[in-house]
Amino acid sequence: MRFLFKTDYDQDIRLFKHGGQVFWYGLLMALLLAAPFLVDEYVMSQLHFICIYSIVGLGLMLLVGFTGQISLGHAAFLAVGAYTEALLQAKGVPVFISLPCAALFSAAAGLIVGLPALRLKGIYLAIATLAFNVIVEEVITRWEGLTGGNSGLHLKPVEIFGVTLDGDAGFFYLCLGLTVLSILALMNLLRSPTGRAFVAIRDSEISASCMGVNLAKYKTLSFAISAALTGIGGALYAHKVSFISPEQFTLLQSIELVTIVILGGVGFLHGAVLGAAFLIVLPQLISLAKDYLPANVGGTGLQAVVFGLVLIGFIIFEPLGLYGRWLKVRTWFELFPFYRKGMFRRQKSYMKSERLR
Amino acid sequence: MSQVLQLLLAGVAQGCVYALVALGFVLIYKATETVNFAQGDLMMLGGFFALTSSVILGWPYWATIVFAVAAMAAVGMLIERLVLRPVLGQPAFTVVMITIGVGYVLRGVVTMIPGWGTDTYTLPTPFSEGVFQIGEVIFAVQQVAVIGMTAALCAVLYLFFRFSKLGVAMQATSQNQLAAAYMGIPVRRVNMMIWGLSAGVAAFAGILLAPATFVHSNMGFIGLKAFPAAVVGGFGSVPGAIVGGLIIGLVEAFAGRYMPEGFKDVAAYVVVLVVLLLRPSGIFGETAQKKV
Amino acid sequence: MSFFKVANLGINFGGVVAVDKVSFEVRRGEVYTIIGPNGAGKTTIFNLIGLIYPATSGQIFLEDKPLTGSVPHRIAQLGIARTFQNIELFEHATVLQNLLIGRHRHRAASLWQELLFTPAVRRAELAAREAVEQVIDFLDLAKYRDSLVAGLPYGVRKVVELGRALATEPRLLLLDEPSSGLNPEETDDMAFWIEDIRRHLGVTVLMVEHDMNLVSRVSDRVLALNLGTVIAEGTPAEVQAHPAVIEAYLGKAA
């Protein structure tokens, strides 16, 4: 077990707490940078998706895990990002302008959704975001002049300074770079007053406002930042799949995005990345398993069943998600042989009422 | 004028189904503060049970209703016992996600069962085709039956909650779990019963809906329309659910007639956003501030 | 110029008059305590000062500037901090983070600076930590610094909440029943701290409290409420001896 002897406040603030972290994250980064030369095209494609979903997951994690606001409408922000990118690219706007625009437009949409969030709590907020999702989807379907309706829009590969990133490597570095930037930005945010204000709102709104936190400002801000990240994810997603249509941005997509946060571990940035990786890998595992199952079980329903069971299983047996599981494993090794079973157990309340009586 | 009446009738009939699904949401929400996102899928499963008894086993309509409702009540209680009870007391959002998981499983499992699968089926009813006319308004027997059966179910539920011991215990549990537990009400068992009741109501809704949408593994998505109904009525209010369902049904019927194409599908959601902006806890919802 | 003044404050909850025409003035640097039986409207007055409830009538002034009509987070930014009767901490954060949120009103950087964590933000963070460490030292919280609040015993949480309020560097500190739920030893510590807060930090304290030992020990002046109205004001001894106060607590003598 590592003991950190702190002699300076800066040790609390810095991003890497000790040399071990620098080593392991450096190694991970080196492996990822080398990935295009090590793995085949198919794995690369999955890595693209993992990066893209990580960015979206990070956005949702900020909102759900750190600000405590529920959203079942993030597919709408994904759509705003994707369509902005597609339309701007068709107009010949270079990617280093269109990508920020995608983020900006999504953030604007996030502000709009954030406004009702000032008055709505819990389930009412969830329903409002859900309604927003359905309406955006319908608008995209009906506004054929702009979005092509159900026939969708096609995108060309990303082009930076005349270099086309159609190969796996180039686009991967773009996605990876943006993922790392998003993580750094969020880590910075979370170690400064804004991030703490978000956590304050999550844990006790009334107390937060008595500490001088402007609830309206920070809630909408959280929605906007979350939506902006999702918009960037959407723009990359649009390039990755090169064809977008309304049915990619349904409520079910929103729910899948939220499961990233739940499976990864609510309240940990690591969780967003782990959850995204899990969400991408799971369907691959299922299709592998299909060969060994009878025809009626291995049909279209299998994915839904496995997905549902995984979700239920995680919530019942590992509420802290994949990252929580990793923390436990790590603690077990660090403390060996002194790990106790109840170390991470949280106190259970009889029933936590949200009806505020 | 007759057209308006015609639309009223269609809207109320559709609204009744929304109301029944919304009722299922509200029953569970009031008791356990859980929003059951699988309510639509419970309805779907109820539809398939009805299909089994009516088409495969060839039972009469009334027996089909009894069978489907009873079977779903059992499924509902099973779900509560296996999935919901372990997470009692966890944050609401976590529990919502678990019901979403249940929904996924139900939709998937249905496609795996021989004889159900991914196909679309019709559920025969004794009042399938008939119409009659009063004045200029054409009444489809189907619609009238839906309205009548919904009204009957509401009356039964009202009497149940008002006069039966279990109904009163359920009300007490909804008001204050801890106090109910101190009064000797077995809260966990009552919660299980409420899930059973709610699933039974869902099965009933499924049977009423089946003639309009047919029975298939994705028919549960109509449950998403019932959300707005429950919210418009205020999530914790039983009469609110009925009124909310009717409002959404009517708005849809009129939006489909008088608004541009496509508006019908989002009308419910526009209504819910407007209601939430004006009254953040719905029309019948209780507004309370946290005490410090 | 008065430091803090409440004039004719009143609020009705659906026809029930919870606080009725309450007026008092707190002088700079004193400890002013509001006492009264349950339901007298003491905490409601705090919630009115914090603008959590909108007052039906009356005015609140800090240094002659009216607070009514403002918004809750402005109150904190003006230098009024409070604690809560039943503890409202940020449960899933550490003690240190809780206290750092107390520093929120001193935030100066913009969002973009924070996203990039510029040197200015780092300097501000270091300064914030230094200030918070002083509070930690003052309240003897060092051993709990990195523990999650959710796992701490009640007495410690109460102190953490006091620390969070102090971390805002308030001019006026509102303490809502600081001794409730504490054992005699902890209550004793609390009394020391309140005296120190007034003497060494120069913070004015407005307090709601039941424990008359604590009240007489630390308060300069006491206001007694019953059923939303003022029944007595004066030194602790005067108020305790006031017939109306005795009647409110013990009932009318037969």
Each residue's pLDDT tens digit, B213-266: 888 888 888 888 888 888 888 777 888 889 999 999 999 888 888 888 778 888
- pLDDT above 90 covers a percentage of chain A that reads 57
Whether residue A356 lies inside any domain: the answer is no
For residue C176, what is the nearest residue in chain B, using CA coordinates?
B292
Whether A203 shows a pLDDT value over 60: the answer reads yes
In this prediction, residues A123-152 reach a mean pLDDT of 89
Tokens coding A176: 């990876």
Whether B106 shows a pLDDT value over 90: the answer reads yes
Contact indicator for B232, B22 with CB cutoff of 8 Å: no
pLDDT of residue B288: 54
Partner residue opposite A193 with nearest CB, options C88, C90, C107:
C107
Whether A248 shows a pLDDT value over 80: the answer reads yes
Angle subtended by helix axes B92-112 and B39-51, to nearest 10 = 20
Residues of C in contact with A188 (CB under 8 A): 114-117, 121
In this prediction, residues C70-92 reach a mean pLDDT of 91
Give the CATH number of the domain where residue A226 resides: 1.10.3470
Query: Residue C254 — pLDDT band, cuts 50, 70, 90?
Result: low
Whether residue A311 lies inside any domain: the answer is no
Residues of C in contact with A191 (CB under 8 A): 117, 125
For chain A, positions 269-298, list CB contacts with chain B under 8 A: 296-297
Whether B273 shows a pLDDT value over 50: the answer reads yes
Q: Among B40, B46, B57, B200, which residue's Cα sits nearest to residue B115? A: B57
Contact indicator for B106, B38 with CB cutoff of 8 Å: yes
- Report DSSP state, residue C209: -
In this prediction, residues C216-233 reach a mean pLDDT of 93
Query: Residue C224 — pLDDT band, cuts 50, 70, 90?
Result: very high
Whether residue B46 lies inside any domain: the answer is yes
Contact indicator for C138, C171 with CB cutoff of 8 Å: no
Other beta carbons within 10 angstroms of residue C211's beta carbon come to 18
| Nearest-angstrom CA–CA distance, A202 and A266 | 12
**CB contact, 8 Å: C43 with chain B?**
yes
Whether residue A317 lies inside any domain: the answer is no
Note down the domain range covering B159.
20-220+237-243
Residues of A in contact with C126 (CB under 8 A): 9-10, 13
Count of A-C CB contacts under 8 Å: 111
| Nearest-angstrom CA–CA distance, C7 and C24 | 7
Torsion of CA A7, A13, A15, A20, to 10 degrees: 20
Whether A340 shows a pLDDT value over 50: the answer reads yes
Tokens coding C164: 């969070």
pLDDT of residue A119: 80
The three-class DSSP label of residue A173 is helix
In this prediction, residues B196-208 reach a mean pLDDT of 92
Whether residue A295 lies inside any domain: the answer is no
Whether A256 shows a pLDDT value over 50: the answer reads yes
Cross-strand pairs, C60: C6
Residues of B in contact with A308 (CB under 8 A): 100-108
Whether residue B139 lies inside any domain: the answer is yes
Which stretch of B92-96, B186-190, C164-168 has the lowest confidence by average pLDDT? B92-96
pLDDT of residue B291: 65
Whether residue A206 lies inside any domain: the answer is yes
Whether residue B126 lies inside any domain: the answer is yes
Note down the domain range covering A65.
20-273
Query: Residue C109 — pLDDT band, cuts 50, 70, 90?
Result: confident
pLDDT, chain B, mean:
86
Whether residue A129 lies inside any domain: the answer is yes
Whether residue A293 lies inside any domain: the answer is no
Sign of torsion over alpha carbons C103, C106, C110, C114: negative
Over residues B10-51, the pLDDT tens digits come to 889 889 889 988 988 888 888 877 889 999 999 999 999 998
Question: Choosing among C88, C112, C126, which should be mutated to test the A contact, i.e. which has the most A CBs within 10 A?
Answer: C88
pLDDT of residue B279: 80
Over residues C176-223, the pLDDT tens digits come to 999 988 999 999 999 999 999 999 999 999 999 988 999 999 999 999
pLDDT of residue C204: 95
Structural domains in chain A (count): 1
pLDDT of residue A350: 45
Residues of C in contact with B289 (CB under 8 A): 52
Which stretch of A9-18, A24-33, A258-267 has the lowest confidence by average pLDDT? A9-18
pLDDT of residue A19: 84
Structural domains in chain B (count): 1
Report CB contact under 8 Å: C100, A196.
Answer: yes
Whether residue B104 lies inside any domain: the answer is yes
pLDDT of residue A80: 96
Over residues B119-138, the pLDDT tens digits come to 888 888 777 677 777 777 77
What is the nearest CA distance from A118 to chain B, expressed in angstroms?
10
Whether residue B24 lies inside any domain: the answer is yes
Find all residues with CB under 8 Å of C154, minimum gap 6, and list them: C87, C181, C182
What is the nearest CA distance from B223 to chain A, expressed in angstroms?
13
Tokens coding A224: 């906007």
Q: A337: cis peptide before it, omega within 30°? A: yes
Contact indicator for B282, B237 with CB cutoff of 8 Å: yes
